[in-house]
Amino acid sequence: MCGITACVADDDVVDTVLTGLENLEYRGYDSAGIATLNGAGVRVHKREGGIDELVAEVDGVDLHGEFGVGHTRWSTHGAPTDENAHPHTDCTASVAVVHNGIIENYAELRGELSAAGHLFTSETDTEVIPHLIEDELAAGNPPEAAFRAAIDRLEGSYAIAALVDGTEAIFATRQGSPLVLGVDDGRRFLASDVPSFIEFTSRVVYLHDGDVVRLTPGDHTITDADGDPVSRPVDTVDWGSEDAERGGYDHYMLKEINEQPEALERTINGRITDDGRVALEEFPEGAFDGVSEVHFLSCGTSHHASMYAQQLLRDRGVPAYAFTAGEYATTPAPVSEDTLVVAVTQSGETADTLASLRSANARGARTLAVTNVVGSTAAREADEALFIRAGPEIGVAATKTFSSQVATLTLVIERLVADVTGAPSEDSEAVLSALQELPDLVDRVIRQSTASSLANRYAGSDGHFFIGRGVAYPVAREGALKLKEISYEHAEGFSAGELKHGPLALVTADTPVVAVFSGKHDRKTLNNVEEVRSRGAPVIGVAPESADNVAAAVDEFLAVPETHPDVAGILANVQLQLVSYYEANALNRSIDKPRNLAKSVTVE
């Protein structure tokens, strides 16, 4: 959802800014641009299309500058055109701004600025910012004061970086959109996300809302909205550039599917004792005493992980509700101080999830963020945070983070159930032991999967339906989301019993049905398989390898190793990831950068 990047150094930063943009392209790929400053004015190059087109355009152009900002866009206000690409400039072309987020009062500001004679060249909300800075400079304010005065006028969410001609600094701020500072000996970096500059430095400062940063070569200052200095620690991220690269894989998605065994190792490492108990440092025994019910808030894949967790909690007798965050933000469920509200979000920056989290915070619930990103807004704004430790996920389609989310939530659930019921769940030992085996089992799924052989047969069908019961239901939903997201094929996921209440009308010989089995409730789902087969639909069954009854009832059988049914859904989901990947590949889709999508959706 737009990526911004910036660098200051005492030599040319053009290549660094372009590299930073390439590393951020998963955040948006409608258009891209760069602006530099080198004592001879602000130079801007921007264009519709991906970063490679921008790189080709600036090849041979003298953009040289020690101060640079860059932007990769996921369009909100205005079509993906050259004019709407960032950076945006003022009337005098001496201020250049890149922005991620939405300026909600832009129409009013634009009207006011236009009436005062400012000329606008784009349809974006962002363009008001350089014009506001221009006005403040014209009023005699020094550049930093002009920047502060301009952002004071903004309502909405933003991460902004600005260059001002004649000023040896970059100014930046954030409010509701992510912005991270990178610290290196002679250089400073800014970006929407750490992968942008991880190949240059692993030392980072997570900025807070309202922070105003001034970057100069080898130095930075951070002040609050009143201009008072604030101190933010420099952290070191525990992963490197190789984690954010494609390695030898054709796509990030395939790399990240293959990384699941090691991601899961990290997720559970040190969190289960040798004698089979949950050992969450953040949540010792008794940490969840008094919790009466659990709300999960999340979107997309994270919502499916939450639905999975909801099912596990209900199975253990604890009231649990998985809400889509966008709905909860506007129509929240009642909470009390005994309600544990869990925001599940890979990025920790999804606007809908943050809005719903804020609603729960404001109403006095106890809040917990389960996220992949240390320093993210969700991690900071929730009362407590637990990290899934999946490592950076670059592919727009979430894969390894789903597995790590479900594994993390399972640990939380076993801790919580023991606390609120006074005893570990009946299956606690078996489930925790299954979690410990999970990395090896996922590895087996990946090595032995025959999903690629199905791709040519089913890619291009009229539609795909995914069905499952219990934990297999959210997995069916996730399988459908993954397929539609990267293959652009129509796909829907249903609870298996629901199909006959309407969707069955759509089932034909050209709509494969993917039936997911966990080893629990399988007999009923087999009945639903019979219903669709008798309408001529081919059925792909994903089930534990010993499920001979399933193997005999379906056209294609994708086996997963035997494990506890509560964990089996994670294995089945890996098969579905592979089905989607190979179908999308057979259709020659843009797998890592699906049309209209972006990795992190930072607008509501």
Active site residues: 2, 599
For the CB of residue 157, give the shortest distance to ligand M6R in the complex, in Å.
15
Is residue 382 involved in binding ligand M6R (CB under 6 A)?
Answer: no
Contact with ligand M6R (CB under 6 A): which of 37, 150, 272, 299?
299
Is residue 394 involved in binding ligand M6R (CB under 6 A)?
Answer: no
Radius of gyration of the chain (CA): 25
Q: Which stretch binds ligand M6R (CB under 6 A): 20-28, 345-353, 425-433, 532-540?
A: 345-353
Contact with ligand M6R (CB under 6 A): which of 177, 324, 346, 425?
346
Is residue 578 involved in binding ligand M6R (CB under 6 A)?
Answer: no
CB atoms within 10 A of CB 274: 6
**Which distant-in-sequence residues (6+ apart) come within 8 Å of 463 by Cβ?**
489, 490, 491, 492, 506, 510, 511
For the CB of residue 401, give the shortest distance to ligand M6R in the complex, in Å.
7
Q: Which stretch binds ligand M6R (CB under 6 A): 1-9, 11-19, 221-229, 298-306?
A: 298-306
CB atoms within 10 A of CB 85: 26
Is residue 263 involved in binding ligand M6R (CB under 6 A)?
Answer: no
What gap in Å lies between CA 200 and CA 240, rounded to an integer?
10
**What is the phi-psi region of residue 303: left when phi exceeds 0, alpha when psi lies from -120 to 50, beta otherwise?**
alpha
Q: Do the beta carbons of residue 383 and residue 586 sit within 8 Å?
A: no
Tokens of 522: 């399988």
For the CB of residue 230, give the shortest distance to ligand M6R in the complex, in Å.
27
Closest to 122 in 3D by CA, of 149, 99, 152: 99
Three-state SS string across 203-270, please? EEEECCCCCEEEEECCEEEEECCCCCECCCCCEECCCCHHHHCCCCCCCHHHHHHHCHHHHHHHHHCC
Contact with ligand M6R (CB under 6 A): which of 301, 518, 528, 575?
301
Q: Which stretch binds ligand M6R (CB under 6 A): 58-66, 293-301, 408-416, 544-552?
A: 293-301
For the CB of residue 532, give the shortest distance to ligand M6R in the complex, in Å.
26
For the CB of residue 359, give the shortest distance to ligand M6R in the complex, in Å.
16
Helix (H, G, I), strand (E, B) or coil at 479: helix
* Nearer Cβ to ligand M6R (135/485): 485
Helix (H, G, I), strand (E, B) or coil at 421: helix
Site for ligand M6R in 480-539 (CB under 6 A): 481, 485
For the CB of residue 396, give the shortest distance to ligand M6R in the complex, in Å.
5
Alpha carbon distances (Å) from 339 to 295, 310, 324, 409, 468: 7, 14, 17, 16, 29
* Nearer Cβ to ligand M6R (181/299): 299
Tokens of 102: 């939405």
**What is the phi-psi region of residue 38: left when phi exceeds 0, alpha when psi lies from -120 to 50, beta otherwise?**
alpha
Is residue 31 involved in binding ligand M6R (CB under 6 A)?
Answer: no
**Which distant-in-sequence residues (6+ apart) come within 8 Å of 260 by Cβ?**
399, 400, 403, 439, 442, 446, 574
Give the Cα-Cα-Cα angle 41, 43, 48 (nearest 5 degrees): 160
- Total residues contacting ligand M6R by CB under 6 A comes to 16
Is residue 302 involved in binding ligand M6R (CB under 6 A)?
Answer: yes
Site mask for ligand M6R (CB under 6 A), range 437-476, x = bound: ----------------------------------------
Is residue 347 involved in binding ligand M6R (CB under 6 A)?
Answer: yes
Instruction: Tell me which residue has its CB nearest to ligand M6R.
Output: 300
Q: Which stretch binds ligand M6R (CB under 6 A): 19-27, 169-177, 390-398, 542-550?
A: 390-398
Residues that bind ligand M6R (CB under 6 A): 299-302, 345-347, 350, 353, 396-398, 481, 485, 600-601
